[in-house]
């Protein structure tokens, strides 16, 4: 009878723990949120983008780079084709995307691009594109040089390291150096699920250069998007399941010091920074549970959030766009240029809208 009582108490305790964890997970995933539509004028789908534009970033001259065709565990994949990088000239009224040719000894058949970052070398003006790549489910960083007159990418090198084990996003700070986020601590699929289930804040930010590779910040529940301030003094990291943007100051030794956190009230993915104003533009998932189930009758919505004056005592956080999934599903990035707002998604379409600032 004593053993039965102990077993019964153990089962009851486990049931309570699982119940509490499920309630917590529903809370952090914002499963209760339902969006009211908040549209911008003159929004159109970008022709030719059917399988997502998970990340988008723009050169100073208005040339946008789009990372498309991501295949990621647990998310829908509507195409077996390799991923591609496209360009879109926002100064051209035609607004037509162009697929980039990849030159050099690079395995294009397994290309699975995720986060991207552009870096312009002050010495010679050369432009480099850094791409997070997941061939066969692995995690590595590709460095390409942009060949403008050919709309091509010249393959430079692949970077692999044990600390770069679950890279989500990247921000380049040199021709071979960058900061990157790991969105999980474990690499095993089951243990990856255990992390958010137990609220393990074990994700981190890694600094990489040919001379140094080190973890420079930690304590994230899921570290997702990352970007840098125009003056290169601060990094911004999306702590996805905590619904916060974390501000970190870059020290001389490349280690980061915590400055502040800004609540955004949504599950924000990639971060783009306006090079003139310093404003942050965030592509967000308003309801994480819908992203898990992918119900076509109740699809994940999309939300764009802007943060102004993030380093001030009272940053201004505003919702710029929202949709319940009827127009665009699972937004992951938003960026603006010349009165236009581009919104990309993890696995569906991309949108371009008129924007009045």
For the cut 70, the answer to whether the pLDDT of residue 56 exceeds it is yes
Can you give the pTM of this predicted structure?
Answer: 0.94
> Worst-scoring range by mean pLDDT, 126-140, 286-300, 336-350?
286-300
The pLDDT value given to residue 31: 85
Q: How far is CA 37 from CA 85, 221, 297, 325, in A?
A: 30, 29, 17, 10
State the catalytic residues: 114
List phi, psi (to 5°) of 193: -70, -35
Q: Is 169 annotated as a binding residue?
A: yes
Q: Is 269 annotated as a binding residue?
A: yes
CB atoms within 10 A of CB 44: 11
pLDDT digits (tens, 9 = 90+) for 308-323: 999 999 999 999 999 9
pLDDT band for position 197 (cuts 50, 70, 90): confident
Q: What average pLDDT does the segment 6-29 reach?
A: 71
Nearest alpha carbon to residue 118 among 79, 165, 167, 153: 153
Buried b (16+ CB within 10 A) or exposed e, 225-243: bbbbbeeeebbbbbbbbbb
Quickly state the pLDDT bin for 249 (edges 50, 70, 90): very high
Q: Rounded mean pLDDT of 207-214? A: 96
168 is in an annotated binding site: yes
Percent composition of the chain: helix, strand, coil (DSSP 3-state, to 5): 15, 45, 40
Overall average pLDDT of the 251-262 stretch: 90
Question: Taking all residues of the chain, what is their mean pLDDT, rounded to a whole number?
Answer: 93
For residue 24, name the pLDDT band (cuts at 50, 70, 90).
Answer: confident
Query: For 79-116, what is each residue's pLDDT tens digit?
Result: 889 999 999 999 998 889 999 999 999 999 999 999 99
Is 249 within 8 Å of 265 (Cβ atoms)?
no
Distances (CA, A) of 2 to 7, 13, 17: 9, 16, 23
354 annotated among ligand-binding-site residues: no
Domain boundaries, the chain: 31-354
Domain 31-354 class in CATH? mainly beta
pLDDT of residue 118: 98
């Amino acid at each position: 009878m004593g053993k039965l009582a102990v077993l019964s108490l153990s089962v009851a305790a486990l049931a309570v723990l699982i119940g509490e964890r499920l309630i917590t997970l529903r809370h952090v995933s914002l499963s209760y949120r339902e969006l009211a539509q908040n549209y911008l004028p003159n929004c159109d789908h970008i022709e030719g983008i059917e399988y997502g534009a998970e990340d988008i970033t723009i050169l100073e001259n208005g040339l946008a780079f789009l990372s498309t065709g991501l295949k990621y565990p647990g998310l829908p994949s509507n195409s077996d084709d390799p991923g591609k990088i496209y360009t879109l000239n926002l100064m051209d009224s035609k607004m037509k995307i162009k697929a980039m040719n990849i030159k050099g000894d690079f395995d294009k058949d397994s290309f699975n691009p995720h986060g991207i970052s552009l870096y312009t070398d002050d010495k010679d003006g050369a432009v480099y594109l850094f791409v997070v790549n997941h061939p066969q489910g692995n995690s590595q960083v590709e460095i390409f040089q942009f060949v403008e007159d050919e709309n091509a990418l010249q393959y430079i090198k692949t970077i692999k390291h044990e600390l770069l084990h679950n890279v989500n996003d990247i921000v380049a700070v040199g021709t071979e150096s960058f900061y990157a986020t790991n969105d999980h601590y474990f690499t095993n699929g089951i243990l990856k699920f255990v992390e958010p289930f137990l609220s393990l804040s074990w994700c981190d930010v890694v600094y990489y250069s040919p001379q140094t590779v080190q973890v420079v910040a930690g304590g994230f529940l899921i570290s997702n998007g990352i970007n840098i301030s125009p003056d290169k003094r601060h990094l911004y990291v999306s702590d996805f399941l905590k619904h916060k943007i974390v501000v970190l100051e870059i020290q001389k030794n490349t280690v980061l010091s915590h400055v502040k956190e800004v609540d955004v009230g949504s599950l924000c993915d990639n971060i783009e920074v306006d090079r003139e104003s310093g404003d942050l533009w965030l592509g967000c998932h308003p309801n994480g549970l819908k992203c898990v189930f992918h119900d076509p009758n109740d699809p994940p919505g999309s939300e764009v959030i802007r943060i102004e004056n993030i380093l001030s005592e009272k940053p201004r956080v505003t919702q710029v766009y929202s949709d319940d999934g009827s127009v665009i599903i699972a937004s992951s990035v938003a960026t603006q240029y010349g009165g236009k707002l581009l919104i990309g998604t993890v696995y569906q379409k991309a949108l371009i809208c008129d924007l009045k600032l």
